[in-house]
A and B are shown apart, each in its own frame.
Chain A
């Protein structure tokens, strides 16, 4: 794992440990080097002192050729166990007396030509001149092992080890406590940020500890959260206001719409009474006064009657249209096969068009869950439209079917009639909008508007495709609900 990838807590502890280790190592190494040189110096000095004392005591023995006495003097060295060998040489360099600690017989240097003290690999050895007053009487040789140094170094190593262990333990405990002052705010900040991003709760705040850079960071983080929260609040207020406005506007629109519908209903209703009088009286004129009227009067009377009838039809349609908006729907399972068959039969009975020559192609139709009366109106309007607009063809062809698309049941009525120009398709389903003149094809311009209204009330859609003089196809879709549901008033 790379150093940059490890947690900040461990990173801090490793840094502390590393510093501690380096400092301790440098200290210990320095101390050891210092001790090493000091020990060499002091042990040389110590051996030189011993050498001088022994040399001073040995003068008479050398001067008066008394090896026994020399031996006795040298044997005093046994109190200094690190001195492994000693020897006295006379001025000619001949061995005069020797001393060995323990059983080991060390090899003594043959001559005393070397002066001073020096370290060999395992020993410290040296020569001390034996002088009485100013007279050189001989030379003393001393050889000391370095066990003293090794003993001391072993002790130092033990102490250093204990100190290192203890300081690492202390460093561990202290760093465990002290690293929290840095890692805790960072970890807290991270945890807070995680809570916020996971729970989307911008009201959470990080707790600020201290006034250092981490404190400033926490402060900045909290300030950022304040801003986010304030922005969220203003956004939600804005959304609420917007919704409120939409609701208000919808209510306004609905009430205006209702007023309009009520108005058109009452207008239509009120218009029927005088219209009935016009139709009734023009009928009386036709039947009772036909002998008294001339041919022109009779024609005018029939025109009045016909137009009044058309107006009546218009009013009926308008009433039906407004009733759709006013009335509630009673939904039930609708057998479209049955319904379409019945409507075609009725149209045939009415015999308004040359019905016999129409080539009907009726596919199986999916049942729907809908308001039966209004759906019937949809079928009547669309089928009669198809019959009407294909009536001028030599062999009118009308195809009716259904299919399922995107969770909706789509019904279509296709004819080979006059069709329409597609650039006018927006006008198709608007009230009183007609693409053909009344002279060409009868109609009030309410039928398709009514279809659109009924279908959209059923949460469906209406659209059409057409080519002029080739035919038109009208589609309407209804939600594919459960057709076996119980009757429900919506």
Chain B
């Protein structure tokens, strides 16, 4: 745990010091990765759907007002780890607005980069690293989403899983509540609710 803390502080410092440089680097990286991904084959139907789901979370989750810098501030969907959606997520959100906030996609390479984010898709297979990131993000208004099987148990909020060839959702309402997020009952109704007592 102290290691994680140290790392996190390092990230913060780094971000503060090299804010513009990092931005530029990230943008370049994004463009490069984007190009690479576009060159690759298009993502599977599963990820296309998941991309739409990611966007649709914006419709069913309420963020606190102060999570936006202004009324026109963007709603950021971040991806931590590899982007499995290809360009499809970008296409899905392009031109979309949620309550006046334009929706944008942000690719993060490490948790330290995460500053102003609303939905974070965590595509990190390593359990400990994932847990450290969840811990790092604790208390911030970020909806964490992952495909990792133990994600809910680790304190993640929404987990994709597949049953009978259908993509289902598991939601950890305690976690989202701690993050100050309100998930619509309509969404909760669809999802499998994570109960920490059952899993323990």
In this assembly, does A148 line the interface, its C-beta being within 8 Å of a C-beta of chain B?
A: no
Can you identify 7 A-B contacts, CB atoms within 8 angstroms?
A59-B59, A63-B60, A65-B49, A65-B167, A69-B190, A132-B56, A132-B59
Chain B: which residue is nearest A61 at the CB level? B190
Inter-subunit contact B56/A64 (CB<8 Å): yes
In this assembly, does B137 line the interface, its C-beta being within 8 Å of a C-beta of chain A?
A: no
Q: Measuring CB to CB, which residues of chain B are less than 8 angstroms from any residue of chain A?
A: 49, 52-53, 56, 59-60, 96-99, 166-167, 169, 184, 186-187, 189-190
Inter-subunit contact B60/A132 (CB<8 Å): yes
Q: Measuring CB to CB, which residues of chain A are less than 8 angstroms from any residue of chain B?
A: 57, 59-61, 63-66, 69, 132-135, 137
Of all A-B residue pairs in the complex, the 9 with the closest CB atoms, nearest first, are A60-B186, A63-B56, A132-B59, A66-B190, A60-B187, A60-B190, A69-B190, A64-B190, A135-B59
- Dominant secondary structure of chain B at its interface with chain A: helix
Shortest distance between the CB of B78 and any CB in chain A (Å): 20
Chain A: which residue is nearest B186 at the CB level? A60
Which of B59, B96, B166 touches A63 (beta carbons < 8 Å)?
Answer: B59
Q: Give CA–CA (A132, B184) in the complex, Å.
A: 11
In the complex, chain B residues whose CB is within 8 Å of the CB of A134: 97
Shortest distance between the CB of B166 and any CB in chain A (Å): 8
Q: Which of B56, B97, B98, B187 has the most CB of A within 10 A?
A: B56
Which of B60, B96, B97 touches A60 (beta carbons < 8 Å)?
Answer: B60
Inter-subunit contact B59/A64 (CB<8 Å): no
Shortest distance between the CB of A54 and any CB in chain B (Å): 12
Inter-subunit contact B98/A64 (CB<8 Å): no
Chain B: which residue is nearest A56 at the CB level? B186
In the complex, chain A residues whose CB is within 8 Å of the CB of B60: 59-60, 63, 132
Shortest distance between the CB of B118 and any CB in chain A (Å): 15
In the complex, chain B residues whose CB is within 8 Å of the CB of A66: 190
Inter-subunit contact A69/B189 (CB<8 Å): yes
Shortest distance between the CB of A289 and any CB in chain B (Å): 188
Further pairs besides A59-B60, A60-B189, A65-B53: 17, Cβ < 8 Å: A59-B59, A60-B184, A60-B186, A60-B190, A63-B53, A63-B59, A63-B187, A64-B53, A64-B187, A65-B49, A132-B56, A132-B59, A133-B59, A133-B98, A134-B97, A135-B59, A137-B56
In the complex, chain A residues whose CB is within 8 Å of the CB of B186: 57, 59-60
Shortest distance between the CB of B95 and any CB in chain A (Å): 12
In the complex, chain B residues whose CB is within 8 Å of the CB of A65: 49, 53, 166-167
Q: Give CA–CA (A59, B49) in the complex, Å.
A: 16
Q: Give CA–CA (A59, B53) in the complex, Å.
A: 12
Shortest distance between the CB of A464 and any CB in chain B (Å): 146
Q: Give CA–CA (A132, B53) in the complex, Å.
A: 13
Chain B: which residue is nearest A132 at the CB level? B59
Shortest distance between the CB of A97 and any CB in chain B (Å): 13
Which of B96, B97, B169 touches A64 (beta carbons < 8 Å)?
Answer: B169
Shortest distance between the CB of A269 and any CB in chain B (Å): 160
Q: Give CA–CA (A63, B57) in the complex, Å.
A: 9
Q: Give CA–CA (A133, B49) in the complex, Å.
A: 20
With A60-B189, A64-B169, A69-B190 already in contact, the answer to whether A133 and B99 are too (CB < 8 A) is yes
